[in-house]
Amino acid sequence: MNAVRTVGIEANPEWQVGSFEMVYVLDRQNQLLDCKARPASNAKNSGGFAYNPQLAERMNSLCWQTVLPPIPAHMFDEGASTEIVAPLQFPLRQVDAARQARSTAVNQRSAYFWRHLFADQPIDSIGKARLIGMLDEHRNVLGCEVIIEPHRLRRRDFKQDNSLLDHLGHACATLRDVPLVPGQKPNAQGQHVFIVNLDYSPWRHKAGDSHEQ
């Protein structure tokens, strides 16, 4: 699943070789109840790569960020929940150091915005927040526009929450010392434009933060 793969790549910024399986537990409303990494249960799922416990531990912290597509009712077990197993494999590959640094910085900045804007907010829907703004030469926000919109995998679970939108707009406008992304050049006034996209869901507050600043 691409949704799982995206979070897995974030958990492996230095691209360590290895494999593991992610087990997601969903209720009948497709709400995420639990997620856990474990060794691959068969050779096909491991792809011949050894279990990497360090990656698995990171993924256990970040997996609550995952937004999965809805599971049809007929695919559920007889009980109140069902398990989805998603194998992840990280083969040996040549890493572009500059590209890797930029990707890591983008994830760190996203984590910064999540901590300061969403972490303490009650969330009862699934969506995507887009934040567009400008930083001054001291990396303080000069202005911030916020858009919330349906998540492409869970459009029916989106709510137009004006209270959340107002909170995000006000909180974003007061941010200070916002992390920069390598290679991003300022304008003539020393200002930087930022564009941040964040998935949000009722369960994401359970995610740990492997990008503490």
Q: Which of 45, 48, 54, 20 is nearest to 35 (CA)?
A: 20
Which CATH number characterizes residue 102's domain? 3.30.1150
> How open is the CA angle 151-156-157, to the nearest 5 degrees?
70
Residue range of the domain that includes 171:
98-206
| Predicted confidence pLDDT, tens digits, the chain (213 residues) | 799 999 999 999 888 999 999 999 999 999 999 999 999 999 999 999 999 999 999 999 999 999 999 999 888 878 889 999 999 999 988 777 888 888 899 999 999 999 999 988 999 999 999 999 999 999 999 999 999 999 999 999 999 999 999 999 999 999 999 999 988 889 988 999 999 999 999 999 988 654 443
Indicate whether 37 belongs to any domain. Answer: yes
Looking at the structure of the chain, the number of domains it has is 2
Q: Show which of 65, 90, 115 is a domain's final residue.
A: 90
- Same domain (yes/no): 144, 200: yes
Q: Judging by beta carbons within 10 Å of its beta carbon (0-12, 13-18, 19+), is residue 72 exposed, middle or buried?
A: exposed
Indicate whether 169 belongs to any domain. Answer: yes
